[in-house]
Amino acid sequence: MLTLFHAPNSRSSAIVTLIDEMDIADRVDLRVVTVPRHDGSGAADPANPHPEAKVPALVHDGQVITERAAIILHLTTLFPDRGLAPRVGTADWGRFVMWLTWYQGVLEPVLIHEMAGLSHPYLTSTFRGSAEVKARLRAALEEGPWLLGGSYSAADLLVHSPYAWLPDATPDDDLIRDWVARCMARPARQRTLAADAARMAA
């Protein structure tokens, strides 16, 4: 019914961790595919149903779902009792959806623009920049200890993820660094790292 297409050490690793956090590995068929890597290794995999041959891609009853925020929303809605998201329709769920879409629509573009050395008034007016990202995260974590308050959720899993890959991009703020470290230390993420290392070595 559910199949996840995953490439080790990539954006799809967050979805593998989510599946572990939710304890639904027996409900999702995990297929490992290749993708082109920045070092020139890898290649698009004909077995990957993603329209751009990227990962992750989740296939549910033949329908292809891409974009991590969408996959997270879909899985946490399909399995609402697994504790990774607030109850659908509550105000907290609205904030949960806000963090996921803010990640895809703001945080990741801001990071990519910075890494690419891009700056333009259109980019700033649309996305703002790293100072505003830092302020948003800090304001939430001051209430904390997690983005939604007292409980870890899939919003923490997604939003912290670029800082786990790019520690130098982490905002210079102890509250944010401590939250990233707590997200990274979770046993499910450690298991994904170990499994991905084994897949890379295979």
Ligand X SMILES: N[C@@H](CCC(=O)N[C@@H](CS)C(=O)NCC(=O)O)C(=O)O
Q: Which residues bind ligand X (CB under 6 A)?
A: 10-11, 35-36, 53-56, 67-68
In the complex, what is the shortest distance from the CB of residue 58 to ligand X, in angstroms, rounded to a whole number? 10
Q: Which residue is nearest to ligand X (CB)?
A: 54
41/91 with CB nearer ligand X: 41
List helix spans (H) across the chain.
13-21, 68-78, 91-102, 108-115, 121-127, 130-143, 154-159, 161-165, 174-184, 187-201
In the complex, what is the shortest distance from the CB of residue 42 to ligand X, in angstroms, rounded to a whole number? 8
> Residue 128, SS3?
coil
In the complex, what is the shortest distance from the CB of residue 165 to ligand X, in angstroms, rounded to a whole number? 9
In the complex, what is the shortest distance from the CB of residue 6 to ligand X, in angstroms, rounded to a whole number? 10
13/170 with CB nearer ligand X: 13
**Contact criterion met (CB below 8 Å) for 201 and 163:** no
**Contact criterion met (CB below 8 Å) for 87 and 93:** yes
101/130 with CB nearer ligand X: 101
In the complex, what is the shortest distance from the CB of residue 43 to ligand X, in angstroms, rounded to a whole number? 9
Using CB atoms within 10 A of its CB, is residue 94 exposed (0-12), middle (13-18) or buried (19+)?
exposed
Residue 100: which residues within 8 A CB-CB, separation 6 or more?
69, 72, 73, 154, 155, 158
In the complex, what is the shortest distance from the CB of residue 150 to ligand X, in angstroms, rounded to a whole number? 27
74/177 with CB nearer ligand X: 74
**Contact criterion met (CB below 8 Å) for 6 and 58:** no
56/144 with CB nearer ligand X: 56
97/175 with CB nearer ligand X: 97
Residue 193: which residues within 8 A CB-CB, separation 6 or more?
13
